[in-house]
Structure 1
Amino acid sequence: MTALPLPRIPADDDVSSPVADEPVALLQLDLSDPLEAASAVYRQVRRGRRVVAVACGRADAPARLADALDAIGVRAARPAPGEALLGAGVAIVAGSDAAPDRSAPTPVRPLRIALAGCGVVGGGVLERVSRDPRFQVVGVLVRDPNKARDPSIPPGLILSDPAALLAREPDVVVEAISDASTGLALIRAALSRGVHVVSANKQAVGGDLPGLTALAESTDARLLYSASVGGGAPLIETVRRAAGQGSIVRIEAVLNGTCNFILNRLAEGGDFDEALGAARDAGFAEEDPSADLTGLDAAAKLAILAHEGLGQSLRIEAVARQTLSVDAVLPAGRVRQIARLDLASGRTGVAFEAVDGDALFAVLPDEANALRVTLADGRILTATGRGAGRRPTAESVWADLEDLVEGQ
Structure 2
Amino acid sequence: MTALPLSRTPAADDVSSPVADEPVALLQLDLSDPLEAASAVYRQVRRGRRVVAVACGRADPSSRLAEALDAIGVGAIRAAPGEALLGAGVAIVAGSDAAPDRKAPAPKGPLRIALAGCGVVGGGVLPRLLADARFEVVGVLVRDPDKARDVAIPAGLALSDPAALLAREPDVVVEAISDASTGLALIRAALSRGVDVVSANKQAVGGDLPGLTALAGSAGARLLYSASVGGGAPLIETVRRAAAQGEIVRIEAVLNGTCNFILNRLAEGGAFDDALTAAREAGFAEEDPSADLTGLDAAAKLAILAHEGLGRSLRIETVARQTLSAEAVLPAGRVRQIARLDVASGGTGVGFEAVDGDALFANLPDEANALRVTLADGRILTATGRGAGRRPTAESVWADLEDLIELR
TM-score range, shorter chain: over 0.9
Task: Give the 5 Å matches for 1:79-98.
Answer: 79-98=79-98
Q: What secondary structure, in the 3-state scheme, does the structure 2 residue paired with 1:340 have?
A: strand
Q: 8 Å contact 2:20–2:87 — kept in the other structure?
A: no
For structure 1, which segment, 316-325 or 94-103, has the greater mean C-alpha deviation from structure 2 after superposition? 94-103
Task: Give the 5 Å matches for 1:6-405.
Answer: 17-19=17-19, 21-405=21-405
Deviations along 1:78-119, whole A, 9 cap, x unmatched? Answer: 122222100131000100111102344154110000000000
Q: How far apart are 1:154 and its partner, in Å?
A: 1.1
**Matched AA of 1:278:** A
Q: How far apart are the structure 1 equivalents of 2:389 and 2:137?
A: 22
Q: How far apart are the structure 2 equivalents of 1:180 and 1:107?
A: 38
Q: 8 Å contact 2:9–2:89 — kept in the other structure?
A: no
Q: What secondary structure, in the 3-state scheme, does the structure 2 residue paired with 1:120 have?
A: coil
Q: What secondary structure, in the 3-state scheme, does the structure 2 residue paired with 1:109 have?
A: coil
Q: How far apart are the structure 1 equivalents of 2:342 and 2:363?
A: 23
**Matched AA of 2:282:** A
Q: How far apart are the structure 2 equivalents of 1:88 and 1:244?
A: 23
RMSD: 1.5
Unaligned segments of structure 2, at least 5 residues: 1-7
Q: How far apart are 1:349 and its partner, in Å?
A: 0.4
Q: TM-score, normalised by structure 2?
A: 0.95
Q: How far apart are the structure 2 equivalents of 1:385 and 1:12?
A: 15
Unaligned segments of structure 1, at least 5 residues: 1-10
Q: What secondary structure, in the 3-state scheme, does the structure 2 residue paired with 1:130 have?
A: helix
Q: How far apart are the structure 2 equivalents of 1:278 and 1:157?
A: 33
Q: 8 Å contact 1:19–1:381 — kept in the other structure?
A: no
Q: What secondary structure, in the 3-state scheme, does the structure 2 residue paired with 1:301 have?
A: helix
Q: How far apart are 1:406 and its partner, in Å?
A: 1.3
Deviations along 1:8-40, whole A, 9 cap, x unmatched? Answer: xxx9799x9534620100000000110000000
Q: Alpha carbons of 1:59 and 1:318: their partners in 2 closer, same or farther (altered >3 Å)?
A: same
Q: How far apart are the structure 2 equivalents of 1:272 and 1:102?
A: 52
Deviations along 1:284-305, whole A, 9 cap, x unmatched? Answer: 0000000000000000000000
Q: How far apart are the structure 2 equivalents of 1:371 and 1:164?
A: 39
Q: What secondary structure, in the 3-state scheme, does the structure 1 residue paired with 2:121 have?
A: helix
Q: How far apart are the structure 2 equivalents of 1:170 and 1:103?
A: 28
Q: How far apart are the structure 2 equivalents of 1:393 and 1:18?
A: 21
Q: How far apart are 1:344 and its partner, in Å?
A: 2.5
Q: How far apart are the structure 2 equivalents of 1:224 and 1:102?
A: 28
Kindly report structure 1 stretches of 4+ aligned residues shifted beyond 6 Å.
11-14
**Matched AA of 2:136:** Q
Q: What secondary structure, in the 3-state scheme, does the structure 1 residue paired with 2:156 have?
A: helix
Q: How far apart are the structure 2 equivalents of 1:137 and 1:270?
A: 43
Q: How far apart are the structure 2 equivalents of 1:70 and 1:164?
A: 38
**Matched AA of 1:42:** Y
Q: 8 Å contact 2:9–2:18 — kept in the other structure?
A: no
Q: How far apart are the structure 2 equivalents of 1:215 and 1:84?
A: 48
Q: What secondary structure, in the 3-state scheme, does the structure 2 residue paired with 1:156 have?
A: coil
Q: How far apart are 1:125 and its partner, in Å?
A: 0.6
Q: What secondary structure, in the 3-state scheme, does the structure 1 residue paired with 2:29 have?
A: strand
Q: What secondary structure, in the 3-state scheme, does the structure 2 residue paired with 1:279 have?
A: helix
Tell me the matched-pair count.
Answer: 397
Q: How far apart are the structure 1 equivalents of 2:94 and 2:80?
A: 11
Q: 8 Å contact 1:73–1:385 — kept in the other structure?
A: yes
Q: Percent identity?
A: 88
Q: How far apart are the structure 1 equivalents of 2:354 and 2:311?
A: 29
Q: How far apart are the structure 2 equivalents of 1:284 and 1:114?
A: 25
